[in-house]
Structure 1
Amino acid sequence: MFRSIGDTVDAVDVLAQGDNIDDTDEPQIMDNIESLCMACHEQGNTRLLLTRIPFFREVVLMSFECPHCFFKNCEIQSASEIQERGCTYTLKLAAKEDFDRQVVKSETCVCRVPELDLEIPAQRGQLTTVEGLLSTVLEDLDGDQSKRLAADPEAHAQIATFIARGRDVLAGNALPITLVVDDPSGNSWIEPKPGDARGKWTSKHYERTALQNEGLGLTDADAGTREARERAGEDEDYEIRPDEVHTFPATCPSCVRPCSTHMKLVEIPHFKEVVIMSTVCDSCGYKSNEVKTGGAVPAQGRIITLRVEDAEDLARDILKSETCGMTCPELNLDLTPGTLGGRFTTIEGLLTQVHDELHQRIFSGADDETSDSIEKDTREKWEVFFQGLRDAKDGKRTFTCILDDPLAASYVQNLCAPDPDPQLTIVDVDRTKEQEEELGILDMVTEGYEEAEEQRVKAEKEEKAKEQSEKEGVASEAR
């Protein structure tokens, strides 16, 4: 049902050129549906195209046109389920050609350009380019400038200055700038390019908050409190024991039906205790697993460097936390923090997971139609990259694995423990200010919070007493 855009165009050309083709044998290119126009309330026409975007996933393109009032609208919706995690994509625009990259913006996505102090709120879905996204914003603002001039000249002048800055950026001046796409549903995307410099295009996946799940319709406002009471069973002395697998009710992020999450506390030798969590949904077959580390926030971050030389090194246990970034320079592999979530596996298992997930995303399951739509030069670069990963996980080449974790919550097995391992280097480093801000460490209050809480409660009581006194005074005057 979902063909690549290139194959769809080829099919349209065949239908246009072939006079003797039987339409009943040819699959329909687009679905045409008669729809109500919300502008004039007459009948218009909606066209639907099911397609697959290379490097991303299946989407539905929709276009509406009314022949009576000539109202037009276009939109994009994801054809897949809400993803397990939210996503944030960041692209640094340093040259004019960067504006040609594709952008998929779902209806729950927020886009930001910090240098322009611009934030595009969640609205209708779009399949566009970076240039198209910014141009649409500038055109929308410019369209109402005449009304602003009459109603608020000061706002008109400020917006005129912003539009001029935006057009200057689109012309290739005032660069570099940064585009950030943040989508709690995980269904938005910025196109990557092979050979991008490190840090030019980055992706990060994160756990949604209770408020974001509520906004996506996955839970109701009281679900978290209700489930917490059910799990606790009103027993404040509930204890997690290392020798037991604990099970508690949860909600499937795929089909939103009740499912079970299993949790076990595991002691990693020469490291710390971690919590392994697994979720299985009997309704839709959804499965996921994750590792959480506990304990206090350490004073420093940690960089672990492992030289992988043989099959024995590939079998080493590895714990990659959610906050850990991984780099393998010889393989041109760079995983930003948040990618794959927390994982407790082996070096070989981690490389296999990276290969399988990335290969499926790039080539959409090695489908011939999608593969043919990828440029030959681009496809060859990706194949070289994937072949390097396969050789590494098969033990055919040596490489270096570098784990950079600002919370020091990652671990690589030391085969010589408790003695030092000559192939393993562990260095504790100070966190940067940006890392501490991103992790929320700067906002943590570890001392004097009891007094602050008491003062807050006292202030609330005084405010309520003041309001009550004012109400009583008004009632007395009325009498």
Structure 2
Amino acid sequence: MSVKPGSHAVDPEAAAEPSGPLFKDLRADGEPDITEIESLCVNCEENGTTRLLLTKVPFFREIIIMAFECPHCGFRSNEIQSGGVIQPRGCKTSIRVSTRKDLNREVVKSDSATVSVPELNFEIPASTQRGVLNTVEGLLRKSIEGLAQAQPQRYMVDPETAAKVAEFIGRLESLLDCETPFTFIVDDPAGNSFVENPCAPEKDPTMTVEYYERTAEHNEALGMNVSEQPAPEVDHVGTDEVMVIPSNCNHCQSPVEMRMKNVDIPHFKEVIIMAMNCEACGAKTNEVKTGGAISDKAKRITLHITSADDLSRDMLKSDTASIAIPEIDFESEAGTLGGRFTTIEGLLQQVKDGLSGDNPFAMGDSAVQQHSGDSFGDKMRTFLERLDKVMAGEIDCHFILDDPCGNSYLQNLYAPDADPEMTIEEYERTFEQNEELGLNDMKTEGYEQDDDDVKESA
């Protein structure tokens, strides 16, 4: 393998210790970090050179750029592959399209995402359109162009099929006129797709975002062969023992250690805390999983924040809990921030960092698009200013923690007595909440009876 100026080869011994982020930003004042690999030319079967560049697209994802050149026959080729991190859960976003503004919503569609319109039984499989940054209208027009491309040949070979395709193309084009509302769904098992929310930071009443656990088929399609990987055993971990699991950084893919520990929260229950600290890029993450069973009832905790001292209360937010602050019209759906063991101030800081940092629609051309008279960027700055006042204790507001599983906790400063500023309400879960949690079809009793019935019927 030859290495030219501006490129580098990876030393196997040095590769054991991460020297920096795997995916780096492109900079105009420095040489790109390019790796050259000797590889076989598919044209003349001689050895050529493949150049690899691992970089980031701002506010989108990591990509791998590959360029091949053969000095013997002159053959060249280039390709771009996604290097994005697969999220812990899949994401399904549904919007009700009824106006031209809905068609102009920007969509980040990853390679693994499927786009569908149920009203027409229409689906764009993940394998047909590569990962793109487009709009709802743009994705539909691209599909129309793809269907119409081979129509002349269809009319010559099979006129009946060509007539049906032409009819379907007309139905797709009618959607672009917004004569009839329709549902636009982006289903991504990798969790790396997004649909613009023009009402942000408020909740969009026409958009629904659902997070779900991937199936074995999803993992296989994503190249995740988890069936052969033994699951980590945590039953033997004591309360003072920290379990270390080798992993990779979610940001730069450098090797890191994921640490897990059981923690007993007073007046609550046992939880499992998982934390990661990357020495290469400085990224830090933490996640909390409850160790107990799902409670019989859902729980809603409301805290009246009257001073900055209330922001220092410890809290456990499970991955099924949602948070809301009505005074500033803020609401975060379940699954958005994952499980967290932090303080109220720490959680609000994570919300602020997420909205001001990696939001793909908060900067660039998207920030100047007009929504209801105000630009997206102006609305976001106004909300962040109000959020800063809440974090400074300047706004008298209510912090609501709503968990259908009942596995969330907010510190009571007056424990074991009741807190005059905090209200804890237990309520029965709805059918929809039980369906999302998978409880409607869960059966924990009567297995022996069912087995006997099966044997008798056999």
| Mapped pair 1:94 → 2:98 | yes
**2:18 aligns to what?**
none
| Mapped pair 1:401 → 2:399 | yes
Deviation, 1:165, is 4.1
Where does structure 2 lack aligned partners over 5 or more consecutive residues?
1-23, 33-40, 44-52, 67-77, 369-373
**2:354 aligns to what?**
357
Deviation, 1:157, is 7.9
Distance 1:450 1:281 in 2: 49
What is the CA deviation profile of residues 247-294 of structure 1, one whole-angstrom value per residue up to 9, with x for unaligned ones? Answer: 344455556676433222222222222111123456766542111113
- 1:151–1:405 CA distance, 2 compared to 1 (3 A): farther
**1:104 aligns to what?**
108
- 1:57–1:278 CA distance, 2 compared to 1 (3 A): same
What is the CA deviation profile of residues 155-188 of structure 1, one whole-angstrom value per residue up to 9, with x for unaligned ones? Answer: 778766654543332211221x332323233432
Match of 2:193 among 188, 192, 207: 188
- 1:79–1:263 CA distance, 2 compared to 1 (3 A): closer
Count of paired positions: 400
Check conservation: 2:198, 2:204, Cα contact below 8 A: no
CA RMSD of aligned residues (A): 4.4
- 1:285–1:377 CA distance, 2 compared to 1 (3 A): closer
| Mapped pair 1:168 → 2:174 | yes
- 1:116–1:295 CA distance, 2 compared to 1 (3 A): farther
Distance 1:125 1:457 in 2: 50
1:24-423 to 2 correspondences below 5 Å: 56=60, 80-83=84-87, 86-123=90-127, 124-141=130-147, 147=154, 162-175=168-181, 177-194=182-199, 198-203=204-209, 212-217=218-223, 219-220=224-225, 222-225=227-230, 228=232, 231=233, 239-250=236-247, 259-280=256-277, 287-362=284-359, 370=363, 374-375=367-368, 377-423=375-421
- 1:400–1:130 CA distance, 2 compared to 1 (3 A): same
- Bigger Cα displacement from structure 2, 353-362 vs 430-439: 430-439
Deviation, 1:350, is 0.7
Q: Calculate the TM-score normalised by the size of structure 2.
A: 0.72
State, as a whole percentage, how many aligned pairs show the same letter. Answer: 43
Deviation, 1:107, is 1.1
Q: Which has the larger radius of gyration?
A: 1
Check conservation: 2:271, 2:292, Cα contact below 8 A: no
Distance 1:240 1:138 in 2: 56
- 1:221–1:61 CA distance, 2 compared to 1 (3 A): closer
Q: Secondary structure at the match of 2:198?
A: coil
Could you tell me which amino acid in structure 2 is paired with residue 402 of structure 1? I
Where does structure 1 lack aligned partners over 5 or more consecutive residues?
4-23, 29-35, 39-47, 63-73, 233-237, 463-479
Q: Calculate the TM-score normalised by the size of structure 1.
A: 0.69
Distance 1:251 1:51 in 2: 17
Check conservation: 1:106, 1:183, Cα contact below 8 A: yes
What is the CA deviation profile of residues 5-37 of structure 1, one whole-angstrom value per residue up to 9, with x for unaligned ones? Answer: xxxxxxxxxxxxxxxxxxx99x99xxxxxxx99
What is the CA deviation profile of residues 383-403 of structure 1, one whole-angstrom value per residue up to 9, with x for unaligned ones? Answer: 111111111111111212222
Distance 2:283 2:217 in 1: 23
- 1:343–1:174 CA distance, 2 compared to 1 (3 A): same
Check conservation: 2:366, 2:376, Cα contact below 8 A: no
Could you tell me which amino acid in structure 1 is paired with residue 99 of structure 2? A
Distance 1:254 1:58 in 2: 9
Q: Secondary structure at the match of 1:276?
A: strand
Q: Secondary structure at the match of 1:354?
A: helix
Check conservation: 1:57, 1:361, Cα contact below 8 A: no
Check conservation: 1:106, 1:126, Cα contact below 8 A: yes
- Bigger Cα displacement from structure 2, 267-276 vs 351-360: 267-276
Could you tell me which amino acid in structure 2 is paired with residue 184 of structure 1? P
Q: Secondary structure at the match of 1:388?
A: helix
